[in-house]
Amino acid sequence: MEDNDDCPPLAVELPPQEPSPPAPAYSAASPVGVTVITGYLGAGKSTLVNYILNEQHGKRIAVILNEFGEEIGVERAMINEGQGGALVEEWVELANGCVCCTVKHNLVQALEQLVQRKERMDHILLETTGLADPAPLVSILWLDDQLESSIRLDSIITVIDAKNFRLQIDEHKNSSSFPEAFHQIAFADVVILNKIDLVKDCLEDLERHIYDVNALVTVVQSIRCQVDLSTVFNRQAYGAKNLSHLQELLDYSKSVPPSLRHDNSISTLCFQEQDPVYLPKVESWLEDLLWEKKSNMDIYRCKGILHIHNSDQVHTLQAVREVYEIVPAREWSEAQSRVNKIVFIGRNLDIDVLRDSFSGCKC
């Protein structure tokens, strides 16, 4: 049976449950995580949302169907317009303490209102519609910890139809353009390779293509998006607190050799330098790459750890399009080699240009 992503998550009646423990009082020190779920129509986004809502995980989850992007999906039919075009949000209460709503006004405001209006939520799922590039959402949701927002961006999950992805790969080989799925992979923290029961013998090849685009992503295989929910919740992909996971990703990331990719391919490149660097120079270097675009490289994402001059702390680097953040995480351990290691995901990446330009940041 094919998934129908045109349909919103269903409010399914569940058997009676034991009452949940009282929700903890709201605290700005423990914001609610937001997981963005994206993917092609038919890949299984709504199937994933319904699976999460109907699992007995004990979490109070809010689901937002959002019209963010140029295309307008079926959600418009679910929105009631008040007099004079004023928005009236539609809320659907679910039996397991979850809530589903649709919004189309300011997204951050809607998220803040959701946390304040309803009882304390443990997590928020934001299912996108008609959104090819998740990057604009990141720029809205990825807020500085010092702002003490009641929400935080936790991760981006991209759902892929394993059967149709094979066709997209073949089309990509004969085209200079990129299917939206490749962009969604580039920005993803987790890729759910769904409908593997429809693909017999090329799953390893499909995963290799995913890692060729984004070597930092976690790939999870599934049938009807039935996954371990630890792959969904509390990823902390955009926080400095998850330094150990970031270091693990950097240690195992592998660049695609230039001889194995076309010049315009979306791919991952990684380099490292031993010498300490000046933080202001690194910031200027990033702004030249991400803001001024002083090369023909199109950088989608960037992750790394930095050895900052006169600092005993590991600094983490994260960037999505023009938005970047460098923050101290913890002190370097005695057993740890102090090194700058940075991974780039993007198009037309040139390892020599990146390395040579970064050398200007050294002490």
Domains of the chain: 32-231 (3.40.50.300), 240-361 (3.30.1220.10)
3-class DSSP assignment, residue 123? strand
Percent of the chain at pLDDT above 90?
A: 34
Distance CA 258, CA 95 (A): 53
pLDDT of residue 73: 31
Higher pLDDT, 290 or 334: 290
The answer on pLDDT for 109 being more than 50 is yes
pLDDT of residue 97: 60
Q: Is residue 344 within 8 Å of 299, Cβ to Cβ?
A: yes
Report, as an integer, the average pLDDT of 18-39: 63
pLDDT of residue 178: 64
Most confident of 2-6, 173-177, 331-335: 331-335
The answer on pLDDT for 250 being more than 80 is no
pLDDT of residue 243: 64
The answer on pLDDT for 141 being more than 60 is yes
Distance CA 144, CA 151 (A): 11
The phi and psi torsions of 182 (rounded to 5 degrees) equal -70, -40
pLDDT of residue 88: 33
Residue 5: HSE in the Cβ half-sphere, 13 Å Cα cutoff? 22
pLDDT of residue 192: 97
Q: Which is it for strands 323-331 and 313-320: parallel, antiparallel or unpaired?
A: antiparallel
pLDDT of residue 99: 63
Distance CA 174, CA 186 (A): 20
Distance CA 279, CA 276 (A): 9
Report, as an integer, the average pLDDT of 138-157: 76
Q: Is residue 99 within 8 Å of 119, Cβ to Cβ?
A: no
Q: Is the dihedral of CA 259, 218, 157, 124 positive or negative?
A: negative
Please provide the DSSP assignment of 203-271 as one string: HHHHHHHHHHH-TTPEEEE-STT---GGGTS---TT-GGGHHHHHHHHHH--PPPGGGS-TT-EEEEEE
Split at pLDDT 50, 70, 90, the class of 146 is low
pLDDT of residue 25: 42
pLDDT of residue 72: 29
Give the pTM.
Answer: 0.78
Distance CA 65, CA 56 (A): 22
The answer on pLDDT for 171 being more than 90 is no
The answer on pLDDT for 19 being more than 60 is no
